[in-house]
Structure 1
């Protein structure tokens, strides 16, 4: 699923998305391809079971009744056009809390911190093209000096079995830790 790639992007206190309880990054934002951990492993297992023998599961295969404990961290994105643009179809309550508001129905490129927008969009396009999507750990130091990190898992869905038309995944937010001095 991942090849261990790491990307480092610049960040600035003035560059941020809409109001967000996550603090503004101070300095660089690190992106590292990683294997899913915690409940994201459950989401990946569910996606694989729903896929069955097909290349990708359909949106209709993803039933919230099957995964109630995962719903707060789940996201569904529509892929629109070519190259794809990503519209948030469903945003779980834990993500809404971290984003500082409900971004359901909004375009991803309008919601992401401008300093990391291109990298985040690249990762979403990558997930739509990879057989089993991708997972990245994102880490940054906030203005408060604490280290913040989360993991984002993105998995392809296809209504016709030929092309990816949605992404299913989630974000697992880790508790902030005091930065080492």
Structure 2
């Protein structure tokens, strides 16, 4: 069973890695609507790993806990964002818009794709494209998120660089 969402158009995704990640997510066996987290195998999408953020959806509020962030994501924040909450790395003036995409993906168990720009905590305006892909660990609710994010205009020498050396 394939999942479709009118807000997600592969034609609009410019990053080959994000396009591949979305196609891979669509190919996973749904349980019953969205893929089960155990079916996601990072070995299947090595070219996407640097753009991946894995999140837990916590029931209270909900809150989004970042378990892992790829090597093309962390340099943008100038630190490792693993172990942070999404709400703590997004500027207060942007939080409502950002969270609405995540909440829509979780509540409706559908992917959400957006091209946007946001101001980082350090004030830098950073354009990006992002695909939020819901997954489940319990078979019924979207309690995990596979997020692919491609930030534009990141200095190539910063990507894949260990965060501790920034």
Q: TM-score when scaled to structure 1?
A: 0.70
Q: Deviations over 1:111-142 (max 9, x none)?
A: 11111012111111111123432011112689
1:37 pairs with 14, 20, 24, which one?
14
**Whole-angstrom distance in 2 between the partners of 1:119 and 1:88:** 18
Q: TM-score when scaled to structure 2?
A: 0.76
Unaligned runs of 5+ in 1: 5-33, 177-181
Change (3 A) 1:59 1:175: same
State the match for 2:164 in structure 1: none
Report the aligned-residue RMSD.
2.5
2:139 pairs with 145, 151, 161, which one?
161
Once the 2 structures are TM-superposed, how far is the Cα of residue 156 of structure 1 from its aligned partner?
A: 0.6
Verify the 8 A CA contact 2:104 2:112 in the aligned structure 1: yes
Larger radius of gyration: 1
More strand by share: 1
State the match for 2:75 in structure 1: 97
Change (3 A) 1:79 1:68: same
1:58 matched to 2:18? The reply is: no
Q: Secondary structure at the match of 1:57?
A: coil
Q: Deviations over 1:26-81 (max 9, x none)?
A: xxxxxxxx943322111111001113574111111111111111100001110111
The 5 Å alignment of 1:67-82 reads 67-82=45-60
Unaligned runs of 5+ in 2: 155-166
2:129 pairs with 151, 161, 165, which one?
151
More helix by share: 2
Aligned pairs, how many?
A: 144
Once the 2 structures are TM-superposed, how far is the Cα of residue 99 of structure 1 from its aligned partner?
A: 1.2
